[in-house]
Amino acid sequence: MTRVAVRLAEGLGRCVGCPQNRRSGPVSGPCVVRCVTMTRGAKCAGLSASVVVMIAFVGGCAADPAPSPVPPASTAPATPSTEPTPDPAVEAASVPERPAEMERVDEIGAAAAADYFLSLYQYALTSGDLTEWDAVSAQDCSFCINVRSDVTAVYAAGGHYAGGELSSSTARVVGYEETLGVYAVEFEFSVAASTQVGSDGSVVREIPAESGFLILDVLPAAEGWVLLTGDARDESVM
């Protein structure tokens, strides 16, 4: 992504979706599967995990008419536990509902699909659940792969994201590549500041608020709409 953007994923390089990258010869229409470089940052809402501390202690005493030496009472050292409590935002996250308009293979269907994919992105970051994200991601979508890698790394380690609420405008189609049938759908977005929280509740990193324009390239396939890649920029393409 460029300087702004939802900071969706790191390390996106040359896109593999352009017809020019897949075969030689002229291709009619603009290539709307864009080559992008992005950085990560739009993150889910959540609360810091708390640490439960367990302290055990043992005492002893004895009484006898003819007392004998009594061993001193022993006290077990405090034993902290680092089991984080479940994050309320993670537990409350629900899978976005697939809109009925996604049954269409026109501009309306493309806009509905892009809006759904953006909701899945927010859901994946909030919950750590990548099932639906994987289902709509194109096999060679570097953007999709990097989102998966980011979410997996954070949640597998017991962490989560706090803050980073994502707001976006109504989706609008801004491009169409007739040869492949790819639609480019644009959103204006803003992302609140967020933090990555570790398994012990500590702040791993601070992520600043950002805003800009996001373009998702989507394709109607046999199994339904597929996300090909994403592009974020400072200004609208229109």
**Residue with the larger pLDDT of the pair 53 and 178:** 178
Q: What is the per-residue pLDDT for 133?
A: 97
Does residue 12 sit within a domain?
A: no
pTM comes to 0.65
User: How large a percentage of the chain has pLDDT more than 90?
Assistant: 58
What is the predicted pLDDT for the residue at 202?
96
pLDDT in tens, 7-16: 443 333 333 3
Give yes or no for a contact between 2 and 233, defined as CB atoms under 8 angstroms apart. Answer: yes
Q: Is 214 helix (H, G, I), strand (E, B) or coil?
A: strand
Per-position DSSP letters for 82-145, written without gaps between them: EEEPPPHHHHH--PPPPPGGGG--SHHHHHHHHHHHHHHHHHHHHH---HHHHHHB-TT-HHHH
Over residues 39-60, the mean pLDDT reads 28
How does strand 210-221 pair with strand 182-191?
A: antiparallel
Residue 80, in any domain of the structure: no
Residue 25: C-alpha distances to residues 16, 21, 119, 160 (Å): 16, 10, 37, 47
Domain that holds residue 32: 19-46+87-233
Which among 238, 232, 233, 226 has a CA at the least distance from the CA of 17? 226
> Using 50, 70 and 90 to split pLDDT, how confident is the model at 17?
very low
Domain assignment of residue 224, yes or no: yes
Residue 79 lies in a domain: no
Q: What is the mean pLDDT of residues 48-55?
A: 25
Q: Give a yes or no: residue 140 inside a domain.
A: yes
Is residue 51 a part of any domain in this protein? no
How far apart are the C-alpha atoms of 136 and 131, rounded to whole Å?
9
200 within some domain: yes
Q: Has residue 56 been placed in a domain?
A: no
Domain tally, the chain: 1
pLDDT cut 70: percent of the chain above it? 61
Q: How confident is the model at residue 62 (pLDDT cuts 50, 70, 90)?
A: very low
- Mean pLDDT for 200-207 is 96
Q: What is the CATH number of the domain that holds 150?
A: 3.10.450.50
Backbone angles phi, psi at 220, to 5 degrees: -80, 115
Q: Residue 238 — very low, low, confident or very high, per pLDDT cuts 50/70/90?
A: confident
Please determine, for residue 92, whether its predicted confidence score (pLDDT) is greater than 80: no
